[in-house]
Structure 1
Amino acid sequence: MTDAAFDADRTALVLVDLQTGLDDPAYGDRSTPDAESNAARLLDAWRERDLPLAHVRHDSTEPDSPLRGDSPGFAWKPETEPRDGETVFTKRVNSGFVGTELESWLRENGCERVVLVGLTTDHCVSTTTRMAENLGFEPTVVSDATATFEREGPDGETYSAETMHRTALTHLYGEFADVATTDEVLAGL
């Protein structure tokens, strides 16, 4: 993390797609087994300090997706489920900014920095992070509170979940975001 500390009142925690549908075994092997518990630690810290936080979830338009609004997988993961009164945005694409009021909510709350956690590192977390930076926010992606799955490449090779996770973080680091651990973010609050 570039900054050891930051202005917490101007920093929003954005939780991306922490939904039960992403537990579907069809996705294959996953990186970062403690991602949800680390996201929950950050969520607890934000709640204790009454800092801005937003939950974003995916409502898929794909007919067989476990993330469709009418499927059980649309549900929040219990450890990071929003409480009554917390801000929730529902998206239909990879970015938490497209088709939602996330940008205006961040600006209305005076947020300059966003700390991003959730699923998956190389899809929705990455896309939301890139757009956050493009819109003028300062993103920090929490490496041990994000996760992804193994992927098959165009060459037919299967790339491990850990390789995909590290590669996604590397693509974001420096150009689009800081990358930090849960402990580093908590120490900066």
Structure 2
Amino acid sequence: MEIAENAALVVVDVQKGFDELDFWGPRNNPGADDNIAALIGTWQSTGRPVVFVRHDSPKPQSPLRPGYEGNEFKEYVQERRGKGAGGELFVTKTVNSAFLGAPDLGAWLKEQGIGQIVLAGIQTNMCVETTARMGGNLGYDVLVAYDATYTFDLAGPFGWRRSAEEIAQASAVSLHGGGFARVVTTEEVVGAAG
């Protein structure tokens, strides 16, 4: 695996509101936060750019709504902001894709001459997956650090219910098998970027 010298790490929605498990339900991948922190550290120490994305939910009951503490980045993310030498972008959004936020992520990547992005964050099958799909459609070389993401159990149609792990695996298979992104591990990415 090759990680470009200017590959951007896109850290998606690592916000305090996702710790409210009474709202979200059971999650998978308890080591995801450590892996996200490791990726940010690697990117900052190697002078690569980091994009921090925040979801500003328009839903009044959401733990991610603006003005509520849950909208804030988790502490380990907040304390790392502004620490890297490789440039940084802060994007806010109200929908799933970071490419539909403000400022315009795609325009920024083009200005910087960036063709490769590595995704980490929350939720695997929602905002991470949607951003990965759009990135792939837009022609970026997209990598998803699977173990630096997590999601929650979910109910669907016909009484179907899937565990967070089942949903995360289905998302990974769809992204990787469908050619939208390469789904990899944090260890692989850190090893290639270091």
With 11-20 and 96-105 compared, the bigger mean Cα shift is at 96-105
Distance 2:71 2:141 in 1: 29
Find runs of 4+ consecutive structure 1 residues off by over 3 angstroms.
Answer: none
With 82-91 and 150-159 compared, the bigger mean Cα shift is at 82-91
**3-state SS of 2:159 partner:** coil
The equivalent residue for 2:17 is 21
Q: Does residue 169 of structure 2 align to residue 166 of structure 1?
A: yes
The equivalent residue for 1:131 is 134
Could you tell me which runs of 5 or more consecutive residues in structure 2 were left unpaired when the two chains were aligned: none
Q: 1:156 aligns with which of 136, 154, 159?
A: 159
TM-score under structure 2 normalisation? 0.92
Q: Does residue 181 of structure 2 align to residue 177 of structure 1?
A: yes
Distance 1:159 1:49 in 2: 39
* Number of corresponding residues: 185
Instruction: Give 2:14's aligned amino acid.
Output: L
Instruction: Report the Cα offset of residue 159 of structure 1.
Output: 0.8
Distance 1:99 1:49 in 2: 26
Q: Does residue 94 of structure 2 align to residue 97 of structure 1?
A: no
The equivalent residue for 2:149 is 146
Distance 1:84 1:15 in 2: 14
Instruction: Report the Cα offset of residue 63 of structure 1.
Output: 1.1
RMSD: 1.2
The equivalent residue for 1:39 is 36
Instruction: Report the Cα offset of residue 8 of structure 1.
Output: 2.5
**5 Å matches for 1:22-101?**
22-25=18-21, 26-81=23-78, 82-84=80-82, 86-100=88-102, 101=104
8 A Cα contact 2:91 2:101, kept in partner: no
Distance 1:143 1:8 in 2: 21
Identical counterparts, % of pairs: 42
8 A Cα contact 2:3 2:189, kept in partner: no
Distance 2:115 2:92 in 1: 22
